[in-house]
């Protein structure tokens, strides 16, 4: 499980969309580059184009054998500057970030 934050200004939203730059696409690309395995992530929710997040929870499976701190550093080194992994922790096999969320908080600023 990871907690990520991002500035969504230059993205077409969180979820992968064909021929568009998305947060999910960038994170999956970074995970694949760092781990050398094809990884798909699941997010706690989806944000629209231009929307930012400070604590988006994502989950993924990997065979990574080194420390989570090393994985976090490596991901942050290859992710675009407007996306960051803030926390990485092991999760139960059946953890699902969307269905396991106890609460969500949104702030709308105009």
How does pLDDT run across 1-43, given as a tens digit for each residue?
Answer: 999 999 999 999 999 999 999 999 999 999 999 999 999 999 9
Tell me, yes or no, whether 96 lies in a domain.
no
Tell me, yes or no, whether 103 lies in a domain.
no
Q: How far is CA 69 from CA 2, 15, 46, 88, 90, in A?
A: 12, 26, 26, 8, 12
Tell me, yes or no, whether 93 lies in a domain.
no
Does the global pTM surpass 0.85?
Answer: yes
pLDDT tens by residue, 98-107 = 877 666 677 7
Residue with the two structure tokens 């105009």: 110
Tell me, yes or no, whether 97 lies in a domain.
no
Tell me, yes or no, whether 35 lies in a domain.
yes
Measured at the CA of 96, the angle between CA 80 and CA 44, to 5 degrees, comes to: 45
Tell me, yes or no, whether 29 lies in a domain.
yes
Question: Please, is 99 exposed, middle or buried when counting C-beta atoms within 10 Å of its C-beta (0-12, 13-18, 19+)?
Answer: exposed
Domain tally, the chain: 1
Tell me, yes or no, whether 98 lies in a domain.
no
Of the candidates 7, 10, 48, 82, the residue annotated as catalytic is 48
Strand 53-59 and strand 83-88: pairing? unpaired
Written as six digits, the tokens of 66 are 């080194």
Check if 7 is active-site.
no
Read off the CATH number of the domain in which 56 is found: 3.30.70.580
Tell me, yes or no, whether 46 lies in a domain.
yes
């Amino acid at each position: 499980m990871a907690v990520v934050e991002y500035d969504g200004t230059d993205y077409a939203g969180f979820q992968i969309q064909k021929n568009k730059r998305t947060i999910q696409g960038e994170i999956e690309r970074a995970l694949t580059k760092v781990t050398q395995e094809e990884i798909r992530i699941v997010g706690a929710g989806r944000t629209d184009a231009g929307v930012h997040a400070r604590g988006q929870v994502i989950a993924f499976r990997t065979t990574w054998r080194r420390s989570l701190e090393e994985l976090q550093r490596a991901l942050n080194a290859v992710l675009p500057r407007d996306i960051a992994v803030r926390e990485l922790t092991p999760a139960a096999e059946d953890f699902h970030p969307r269905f396991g969320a106890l609460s969500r908080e949104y702030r709308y600023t105009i």
